[in-house]
Amino acid sequence: MDIGSQFLTGLAVALQADNLMYCALGVIAGTLVGVLPGIGPTAAIGLLLPATYQLSPTSAIIMLAGISYGAMYGGSITSILVKIPGEAASVITCMDGYQMTRNGRAGPALGIAAFGSFIAGTIAVLGVMLLAPTLARVALKFGAAEYFSLMLMSLMIVTYLVRGSMINALIMGALGLFLGSIGMDPINGRERFTYGFLPLSDGIGIVPVVIGLFGVAEVLENIGTRTDLQVFKVKVRGLLPSRRDWKDSAFPIARGTTLGFFAGIFPGISPMIPTFLSYAIEKRLSRHPEKFGTGAIEGVAAPEACNNATATSNFIPLLSLGIPSNAFNAVLLGALMIYGLQPGPALITTNPDFFWGVIASMYIGNVMLLILNVPLIPMWVWLLRIPYHVLAILILVFCFVGAYSVSNSIYDVVITFVFGFVGIVIKRFGFESAPLILAFVLAPMLEISFRQSMLFSDGSFSIFVTQPIALTFIVLSVLVLIAGLVRPKPVFVRESGSED
């Protein structure tokens, strides 16, 4: 069966009434998450994960995936209207989006962001259709040694791409590996690091950790520092970009889509990084670079197309290799394993309805976002005027209720509370949560692959240098580690609403 026929089969799955409903819920929830500063898509998926346990895996992942690209849409709204990015990937959109609002052109800015995101998302879905099955066929040749070295390389890339010290990132990765090893030994069934405490025998759940680090920590930190948003009072009209706007934006959208798509394929690339590159490229290529920062529509079109293409192509390594490219996909990987699905090359052949149904839902979700986003803008603006201390209380309530609902255990609430404060400490001392989460989720697979490799080679480490693919990944891991340790200083912008 060719790709076209498989996609039509997936489209039939995605168009089922229940899957359409969950797709709509996912993209609306994602937009809401993107609009409201203080809770990102990673925490949102942790909150909604317990509610999906009674759903079919296809419906659940369709809804959770919608949060990812829906958040990219929502983040642009606050960037343009209030110069506060709801999502880290929308930081650069503030530069020209907010200036367009001040110049009375909020409508075209929101319009080109929506249309550019839709175009980029659609093209990226086509890319996922073509590349994911091909990559999966190649990965079928992987053994335990290849998978271990691939996951090791992914962790090294993630630690390299953090904004701060590589040493700090390695410490977070090591902490994540330790936390992921708590509980039963996957080979012999013995308890490890439980210290006789019964709830630890099943390990630490992904949901309480994620909600604590990305939800509770963010809210607690913002309560003491964030003031209520001052929404720039302007009538949003003229959402359809003019012919001139399209002429100025066509090539930036194309370049942003291309850059974002290929950047998203590589593990560890945050959508924020290619959006900054996309903005810099457009400024470099422009005949009037002085316009950037004063309300140039190209400065909105390119980054918004870029971040949506990245968010979509992130699913290629996740679904075809079982390798998450960021913290959000790491949680999604955990969700897939909870549903009894093992992401990787066999997923496409053993569960074709699931794979193609999820891919088709991405296209449908982008259409929904284009249709829903524009009419709902007044509601999002109204939400932004709610005092943050009121929103913070509601978010914290949802966080603790979501943690409790995983297994109806107060232990999970305690874990969430503890990791909330761990998240604050991590930020205050210049550490990052992403390497910890990625290592935490990959720890069981990393350990199993390593121990299987040792069994196959009778305990000899030579298996990692005699296998060409494994050796390539190991060499790349070492090179990335060395490059990270010798770099002079971090070069990326903080993920907050301010620019460095």
pLDDT surpassing 50 at residue 422 = yes
497 within a domain of the structure (yes/no): no
281 within a domain of the structure (yes/no): yes
Q: How far apart are CA 359 and CA 375, in angstroms?
A: 26
Expressed as residue numbers, the domain containing 197 is 3-486
Identify the pLDDT of residue 157.
76
Tokens read off for 498? 């301010």
Digit-coded pLDDT (tens) for 341-400: 877 777 777 888 888 888 889 889 888 888 877 677 777 777 767 776 777 787 788 778
Identify the pLDDT of residue 268.
60
CB-based burial label for 4 (10 Å; 0-12, 13-18, 19+): exposed
70-79, 100-109, 233-242, 471-480: range with lowest mean pLDDT: 233-242
6-15, 243-252, 417-426, 433-442: range with lowest mean pLDDT: 433-442
For 9, 65, 172, 413, the CA distances from 439, given in Å and listed in that order, are 35, 21, 8, 22
Q: How far apart are CA 410 and CA 418, in angstroms?
A: 12
492 within a domain of the structure (yes/no): no
Identify the pLDDT of residue 492.
42
- CB 384 within 8 Å of CB 81: yes
The amino acid at 430: G
What DSSP string describes 306-355?
A: HHHHHHHHTHHHHHHH---SSHHHHHHHHHHHHTT---SHHHHHH-HHHH
What DSSP string describes 449-473?
A: HHHHHHHHTTT-TTHHHHSHHHHHH
SS3 state of residue 488: coil
* Number of other CB atoms surrounding residue 265 within 10 Å: 20
SS3 state of residue 29: helix
- Mean pLDDT within 296-324: 85
Q: How far apart are CA 128 and CA 38, in angstroms?
A: 30
Tokens read off for 29? 């929830």
> Looking at residue 289, what DSSP letter applies?
G
Residue 494: pLDDT band with limits 50, 70, 90: very low
155-159, 296-300, 468-472, 477-481: range with lowest mean pLDDT: 155-159
Q: Which of 222-226, 283-287, 297-301, 437-441 has the highest mean pLDDT?
A: 297-301
- Mean pLDDT within 478-492: 70
Identify the pLDDT of residue 312.
85
491 within a domain of the structure (yes/no): no
Tokens read off for 438? 């990625």
Residue 336 pairs with which residues in a beta bridge?
none
pTM of the predicted model, to two decimals?
0.73
- CB 313 within 8 Å of CB 125: no
What is the number of domains present in the chain? 1
Q: Which of 136, 26, 47 is nearest to 366 (CA)?
A: 26
Phi-psi region of 374 (alpha: psi -120 to 50; beta: other; left: phi over 0): alpha
Identify the pLDDT of residue 253.
93
Tokens read off for 456? 């196959």
What DSSP string describes 342-410?
A: --SHHHHHH-HHHHHHHHHHHHHHHHHHHHHHHHHHHHHHHHHTS-HHHHHHHHHHHHHHHHHTTTT-H
360 within a domain of the structure (yes/no): yes
Q: How far apart are CA 384 and CA 229, in angstroms?
A: 7
Average pLDDT, the chain: 80
**CB neighbour list of residue 443: distance below 8 Å, 6 or more residues apart:** 176, 177, 179, 180, 181
For 46, 178, 183, the CA distances from 199, given in Å and listed in that order, are 20, 17, 9
494 within a domain of the structure (yes/no): no
499 within a domain of the structure (yes/no): no
Digit-coded pLDDT (tens) for 241-273: 888 888 888 999 999 999 888 888 876 666 677
- CB 268 within 8 Å of CB 325: yes
Digit-coded pLDDT (tens) for 64-101: 888 887 887 777 777 787 776 666 667 788 888 888 88
Q: What is the dihedral of CA 221, 224, 225, 228, to 10 degrees?
A: 110
Instruction: Spell out the alpha helix ranges (H) of 140-265.
Output: 144-160, 166-180, 206-210, 217-225, 243-265
Identify the pLDDT of residue 1.
55
To 5 degrees, how large is the angle CA 456–CA 181–CA 141? Answer: 35
134 within a domain of the structure (yes/no): yes
To 5 degrees, how large is the angle CA 90–CA 154–CA 92? Answer: 10
SS3 state of residue 183: strand
